[in-house]
Structure 1
């Protein structure tokens, strides 16, 4: 990979790296890349305190909760209707 591609991959995975949701091999590569690349060191620091990213995470979490709640209601309603129909 060339340097530009490496930096793009690093920045794409940076949030997962912060949350420790990458594999060990990827984590080691990212640590090594962060130490050697000045651009990614500065970009990583910019992302850490970015309130827009924090707001996006909260919105996504809210959407996930809403989706799972609706799915659960639908599932319970389906079970109830199946039992009611069989009686």
Structure 2
């Protein structure tokens, strides 16, 4: 594995490493490479936190679903009104 690959693996596993949720082999690997990549991992994590909050994507999806459902209800009501008027004339 080259240096860039090791760095990206370290960054990907950094949160789990901090929380202590890695297996023994992975923890040992992270400890060995901590001095090399810890600063980069912390910098990357702080930049991604500033860009977008953790629940922003979920909130966006919920908002999209609300708009979609509202538009479907409106279409159904308009179709029901149109069919009622068409039926009686």
User: TM-score w.r.t. structure 2 length?
Assistant: 0.48
Q: Which has the larger radius of gyration?
A: 2
